[in-house]
Amino acid sequence: MENKDILSKVSDNASAQMLEKSRVDCVETCFDRAETQKAQCGFGKNGICCKVCHMGPCRITPKSPKGVCGADADTIVARNFLREVAAGTSAHSDHGRHLVLKLKHVAEGKAEGYSIKDEKALLYNAKLYGIEIENREKNAVALDLANLFLSEFSSQEDNLKTLELAPKKRQGIWEAKGIKPSGIDRMVVESLHRTSIGVDHDYKNLLMHAFRTSLSNGWGGSRIASIVSDILFGTPSPVRSAANLGVLKENTINILIHGHEPAISEILTAAVSSPDVKDYAKAAGAEGITLAGICCTANEVLMRHGVPLAGNMLQQELAIVTGAVEMMIVDVQCVMPGLVDVAKSYHTEIVSTTDMAKTIGAKHMAVGESNPLAAAKEIVKRAIDNFKKRDKSKVKIPKENEQLVAGFSVDAIKYMLGGKYRASFRPLNDAIIQNRILGVVGIVGCNNTKQKTDEYINVLTEQLIKNNILVLQTGCAAICSAKAGRLTPETALKTAGSGLREVCEAVGIPPILHMGSCVDNTRILEAAAEIVKEGGLGDDLGSLPAVGVAAEWMSEKAISIGCYFVASGVDVFLGNPFYTSGSENVNNYLHSGAAADFNACFHYCDDPLKAAEQIIEIINKARDALGINKTQERKLFDMKDRREL
Ligand code: NFS
């Protein structure tokens, strides 16, 4: 691969160096495989390949506009779309389920190595769901809450209780459209049933179930995952750390954790800091252990322990190419099977830790229910043993290592805005009403080999904060801004527009708030619901000057996230398109028709600068509708204002 080709694939210097090194080391990565997959299937891209029965596969063309059963492009495209939403919903929600079971086992005294770290979060959430908390032992409360959450998965007829955390008006819209979900599991099962041969053929009916299923993710499985993570592992608060491959060190044992569910990474974080493991590392001749993360598990342990971010999704193989990684420990989701082949060229060992996710060639060491800390220590010691196999001649660690501040849970934002005694969103609402902050945009999602990594996210983010828009980020998008050095309060001074900068300076926050992993997108919904509750910006999520963006998305999870944002009334911009263009009806509904039903729809825009313009237009329309777009007298913050903030 020529240097110019490399620079057309990745934005950050660390990735470029490692991609170059992968050429020298004759290692194949996803960037090479994307080349060999270049001629991707047009039927798949347009969503018009149907293989739900074995009379097919059928493909829709002008000459054969219907499948063998008579299904047309509308039915086929909508069925495929619903299946993607169901898969994305199942991934986030199963993650949530595992955490709820963990909480249940903790409450029953059966989960060795885990405890309730945040009692305040437990009591706050139990109260939200109407669970009696007065004079009760915390484990009894936790058991009730865990059982209530389990019923959110299994409920057959009742609507999800978590929906009630949304503004009343939005609940009314879901009711009117008949898309209030019942049990999360039931929604996913029904999605598969409806899309099997000969069941639901009405594209609109299928799409409405896609939105319904996505709501069971955003206001169900994912929301529950975030709540339970906070109870078990602590609610995040601002923490300093660093990002990019430069967090790896020459003289330490380098261990990467990669995947999603925080239960295992929490235990591994504890294992690396235990004295016996530290001594073991010293005895192996290392200066210590560097633990760093990839993908969303990285965001989870960053937010709670300041564990540095090694990189986002498309850096997982490049991290191994440094030649300095003793072990990559993986659990579920976004873990490339290609890792095993990359690792073969170095001394790196890939270790899988959960029975539901194995890869041939990876060492499987389950971290199960019984004595997980001992299991985690065994894994870490194995990594330490591997240190002696490191081939120094193959090691090259890029220098890129940017400082960051992360950990902005809704609680933390409220605290930053209002202080301990008056924690509230009021100052943010006022800043929006007074036009210091134009609006709020959530930028979420992955990297995609179809786009130059991080570029869309970086360009868009910069453009938005320049225009006084507060940016909330999660997932790999947040890691992208971290690598660009944008997740520090000082960024505001350099790049943010004057109004946003005043607010950030007064409060001491960056103009881009890292709010966590992808399940934590529900923290963005939670923040939006708090803003509505605070008053002055309408009575529904759909009236807020707020937009969501999945700039470089690639996963089915991102489709489900996009759908629950739209169904919640928030317009969503996509940096690359859905596989729906084979049906004009489906495509039109998603990209315009949905607005009549939800006051929001999808927008596809492949140019980040144009997307910024369109986003600002949508935000200004929302401001007009709220009557807050009158030119407010521009007034700089004086000391009195700062004290009020
Ligand atoms: Ni989200 Fe997390 Fe990253 Fe995309 Fe994958 S890690 S759950 S799916 S790639 S943001």
CA atoms within 13 A on the CB side of 114: 33
Per-residue model confidence as pLDDT tens digits over 62-120: 999 999 999 999 999 999 999 999 999 999 999 999 999 999 999 999 998 999 999 99
Residue closest via CA to ligand 1's atom 1 equals 518
| Average pLDDT for 605-620 | 98
| Cβ–ligand 1 contact at 476 (below 6 Å) | yes
| Cβ–ligand 1 contact at 555 (below 6 Å) | yes
Q: Could you give the CA distance from residue 225 to residue 93 in angstroms, rounded to a whole number?
A: 7
Q: Tell me how far the alpha carbon of residue 316 lies from the centroid of ligand 1, in angstroms.
A: 12
Q: Could you give the CA distance from residue 365 to residue 346 in angstroms, rounded to a whole number?
A: 20
Q: Is the pLDDT of residue 634 over 60?
A: no
Q: Is the pLDDT of residue 179 over 90?
A: yes
The amino acid present at 164, given as its one-letter code, is E
* Amino acid 633: pLDDT: 55
Q: DSSP readout, 304-359?
A: HH-PPEEE-GGGHHHHHHTS--SEEEE-SSS--TTHHHHHHTSS-EEEE-BTTB--
Residue closest via CA to ligand 1's atom 5 equals 334
* Amino acid 125: pLDDT: 97
Write down the mean pLDDT value for the chain.
95
Of ligand 1's atoms, which has the minimum distance to the CA of residue 555? 8
Q: For the chain, give the percent of residues with pLDDT over 70.
A: 97
| Cβ–ligand 1 contact at 475 (below 6 Å) | yes
Q: Is the pLDDT of residue 584 over 80?
A: yes
Alpha helices in 345-454 (DSSP H): 372-386, 410-418, 426-433
Q: Tell me how far the alpha carbon of residue 400 lies from the centroid of ligand 1, in angstroms.
A: 22
Q: Which residues pair with 473 in a beta bridge?
A: 443, 514
Sign of CA pseudo-dihedral 512, 518, 521, 523: negative
The pLDDT-based confidence of 342 (bands split at 50, 70, 90) is very high
Q: Among 259-273, 456-470, 488-502, 577-591, whose mean pLDDT is lowest?
A: 488-502
Q: Could you give the CA distance from residue 545 to residue 428 in angstroms, rounded to a whole number?
A: 12
* Amino acid 523: pLDDT: 96
Sign of CA pseudo-dihedral 231, 237, 239, 245: positive
Q: Could you give the CA distance from residue 272 to residue 178 in angstroms, rounded to a whole number?
A: 50
* Amino acid 104: pLDDT: 98
Per-residue model confidence as pLDDT tens digits over 411-452: 999 999 887 777 889 999 999 999 999 999 999 999 999 999
Q: Is omega for the bond preceding 608 within 30 degrees of 0, making it cis?
A: no
Q: Is the pLDDT of residue 285 over 80?
A: yes
* Amino acid 461: pLDDT: 97
Q: Tell me how far the alpha carbon of residue 300 lies from the centroid of ligand 1, in angstroms.
A: 12
Burial 584-623 (b: 16+ CB within 10 A, else e): ebbbebbbebbbebbbbbbbbbeebeebbeebbebbeebb
| Cβ–ligand 1 contact at 313 (below 6 Å) | yes
CA neighbor of 315 nearest in space, from 638, 641, 623, 9 = 9
Of ligand 1's atoms, which has the minimum distance to the CA of residue 519? 7
Burial class of 271 by CB neighbour count within 10 A (0 to 12, 13 to 18, 19+): buried
Q: Tell me how far the alpha carbon of residue 449 lies from the centroid of ligand 1, in angstroms.
A: 14
| Cβ–ligand 1 contact at 551 (below 6 Å) | no
* Amino acid 421: pLDDT: 75
The pLDDT-based confidence of 492 (bands split at 50, 70, 90) is confident
Contact assessment for residue 353 and residue 330, using Cβ atoms and an 8 Å cutoff: yes
Of ligand 1's atoms, which has the minimum distance to the CA of residue 312? 3
Q: Which residues make Cβ contacts (< 8 Å) with residue 519, sequence separation at least 6?
A: 92, 95, 96, 221, 222, 225, 226, 229, 260, 296
* Amino acid 455: pLDDT: 97
| Average pLDDT for 586-615 | 98
| Cβ–ligand 1 contact at 413 (below 6 Å) | no
Residues in the chain: 645
Supply the pTM of this predicted model. 0.96
Q: Could you give the CA distance from residue 409 to residue 423 in angstroms, rounded to a whole number?
A: 13
Contact assessment for residue 554 and residue 258, using Cβ atoms and an 8 Å cutoff: no
Query: What's the CA dihedral at 521, 524, 529, 534 to 10 degrees?
Result: 160
Contact assessment for residue 92 and residue 224, using Cβ atoms and an 8 Å cutoff: no
| Cβ–ligand 1 contact at 518 (below 6 Å) | yes
Q: Which residues make Cβ contacts (< 8 Å) with residue 376, sequence separation at least 6?
A: 264, 267, 268, 270, 271, 367
Of ligand 1's atoms, which has the minimum distance to the CA of residue 92? 7
| Cβ–ligand 1 contact at 605 (below 6 Å) | no
Q: Is the pLDDT of residue 590 over 80?
A: yes
The pLDDT-based confidence of 565 (bands split at 50, 70, 90) is very high
Alpha helices in 138-252 (DSSP H): 138-154, 168-177, 184-194, 203-216, 222-233
CB atoms within 10 A of CB 160: 24
Q: Which residues make Cβ contacts (< 8 Å) with residue 103, sequence separation at least 6?
A: 116, 142, 145, 146, 149, 228, 231, 232
Q: Could you give the CA distance from residue 322 to residue 108 in angstroms, rounded to a whole number?
A: 44
Q: Which residues make Cβ contacts (< 8 Å) with residue 640, sequence separation at least 6?
A: none
| Cβ–ligand 1 contact at 457 (below 6 Å) | no
Q: Among 188-197, 602-611, 627-636, whose mean pLDDT is lowest?
A: 627-636
Alpha helices in 25-56 (DSSP H): 30-36, 42-46
Per-residue model confidence as pLDDT tens digits over 187-205: 999 999 999 999 999 999 9
| Cβ–ligand 1 contact at 443 (below 6 Å) | no
Of ligand 1's atoms, which has the minimum distance to the CA of residue 313? 9
The pLDDT-based confidence of 370 (bands split at 50, 70, 90) is confident
The two tokens of residue 251 are 């003289």
Residue closest via CA to ligand 1's atom 7 equals 518
* Amino acid 636: pLDDT: 55
Contact assessment for residue 230 and residue 247, using Cβ atoms and an 8 Å cutoff: no
The two tokens of residue 508 are 């001491």
Q: Tell me how far the alpha carbon of residue 475 lies from the centroid of ligand 1, in angstroms.
A: 6
Per DSSP, the three-state class of 220 is: helix
| Cβ–ligand 1 contact at 559 (below 6 Å) | no
Q: Tell me how far the alpha carbon of residue 354 lies from the centroid of ligand 1, in angstroms.
A: 18
Q: Is the pLDDT of residue 11 over 70?
A: yes
Q: Tell me how far the alpha carbon of residue 220 lies from the centroid of ligand 1, in angstroms.
A: 18
Contact assessment for residue 447 and residue 31, using Cβ atoms and an 8 Å cutoff: no
| Cβ–ligand 1 contact at 259 (below 6 Å) | no
| Cβ–ligand 1 contact at 183 (below 6 Å) | no
Q: Tell me how far the alpha carbon of residue 295 lies from the centroid of ligand 1, in angstroms.
A: 6
Q: Which residues make Cβ contacts (< 8 Å) with residue 277, sequence separation at least 6?
A: 271, 289, 377, 380, 381, 384
| Average pLDDT for 440-469 | 97
**Between vectors from CA 110 to CA 520 and to CA 102, what angle results, nearest 5°?**
15
The amino acid present at 331, given as its one-letter code, is D
* Amino acid 32: pLDDT: 95
Q: Tell me how far the alpha carbon of residue 480 lies from the centroid of ligand 1, in angstroms.
A: 12
Angle between helices 556-567 and 521-534 (to 10 degrees): 10
| Average pLDDT for 50-73 | 97
* Amino acid 419: pLDDT: 77
Per-residue model confidence as pLDDT tens digits over 304-320: 999 999 999 999 999 99
* Amino acid 632: pLDDT: 57
Sign of CA pseudo-dihedral 596, 600, 604, 605: positive
The two tokens of residue 478 are 């947040």
Burial class of 636 by CB neighbour count within 10 A (0 to 12, 13 to 18, 19+): exposed
Q: How far is CA 551 from the centre of its chain?
A: 12
Per-residue model confidence as pLDDT tens digits over 218-232: 999 999 999 999 999
Of ligand 1's atoms, which has the minimum distance to the CA of residue 474? 10
